[in-house]
Amino acid sequence: MTELLVDAGLGGMATVHQISVSDGGVPKLSVERARVLVGGVEGDRQRDLKHHGGPMRAVCLLGLDVIERLNGEGHPIAPGTVGENITVAGLDWADVVIGTRFVFAGGVELEVTSWAAPCSIIRDSFAGLQFKRIEAETHPGEARAYARVVTEGIVEAGEGVEIG
């Protein structure tokens, strides 16, 4: 497995910073652990199934480094506020590409299938309501990633993640 990790004081391994779910809409709220199934994260629901959810968009991920960079620009974004299910710390999100695999210490495996197009429902996470600030085409390396579930199981906050 090719390592794409940066050493962020985490022993060279990325970690799950936060797991977030909601009954539809944002912000998604933090939970300590969640079952990840082929159909998505248990306890999470999407209102718009045309653009979100389904087996190829079962889990939405974002790097903590992106959130921190956007905060530095003055955006009020926080983990879960733009609808991601798993916020990952300890890696350079710009290294994540379509096909990247996230292998969690507990056995869950996800594969990035596409980038999540930003929609106006996440606008409050951005100064001036500039929700397209995380659009993949105009801001590569700063978009949310959709992933399919390769291996189901439980993901826990603080759990290690290998990226390849």
- How confident is the model at residue 54, as a pLDDT? 79
- How confident is the model at residue 2, as a pLDDT? 33
Q: Which domains does the chain have, with CATH numbers?
A: 14-163 (2.40.33.20)
* φ, ψ at 68 (rounded to 5°): -65, -40
Buried b (16+ CB within 10 A) or exposed e, 82-95: bbbbbbbbbbbbee
CA distance 162 to 164: 7
Across the beta sheet with 40-41, the strand order is: 40-41, 33-37, 153-156
Give the predicted TM-score (pTM) of the model: 0.90
- How confident is the model at residue 52, as a pLDDT? 60
pLDDT tens digits, residue range 117-151?
Answer: 999 999 999 999 999 999 999 999 999 999 999 99
